Amino acid sequence: MVAGLIDEIGIVETINSKLGVDSREKITAGIMVKSYFNKWIRICIKTFYIYSSSFFDDKAIEIFIRRRCRKRLS
C-alpha cells in the first residue's frame, strides 16, 4: 500500500533524476529511499496500532487469558 503510493507520487524517479544513476549501482538511491520510507511507515503504524488506547476495546482478552491459563495449569 505504501509502496504503491510512493510509486504514484514518483519519488523514486525524482530522486534518481536529481542524483543520477551509475551503471555500477545494483540499487539506486531512489529505491533505497523507498525501502527506508516503507519500513519506517510500517514500524510507526504497527507501534501506533498496538499502543492505541482503543486496541483492546473490542477484543475478548479475558477469554483468551483464561484459556491460556487453563492449558498451562492442566
DSSP result, 27-51: S-HHHHHHHHHHHHHHHHHHHHHHH
Is it the case that residue 60 has pLDDT exceeding 80? no
Contact 14, 30 (CB under 8 A): yes
pLDDT value for 39: 85
Per-residue model confidence as pLDDT tens digits over 22-45: 999 899 999 999 999 888 887 777
Q: Determine contact, residues 7/29, Cβ cutoff 8 Å.
A: no
Give the Cα separation of 58 and 53 in Å (integer). 11
Contact, 60 vs 43, CB < 8 A? no
More confident residue, 26 or 70: 26
Coil/strand/helix, residue 1: coil
Q: Give the position of cell 482503543.
A: 54
Q: Residue 63: is its pLDDT beyond 80?
A: no
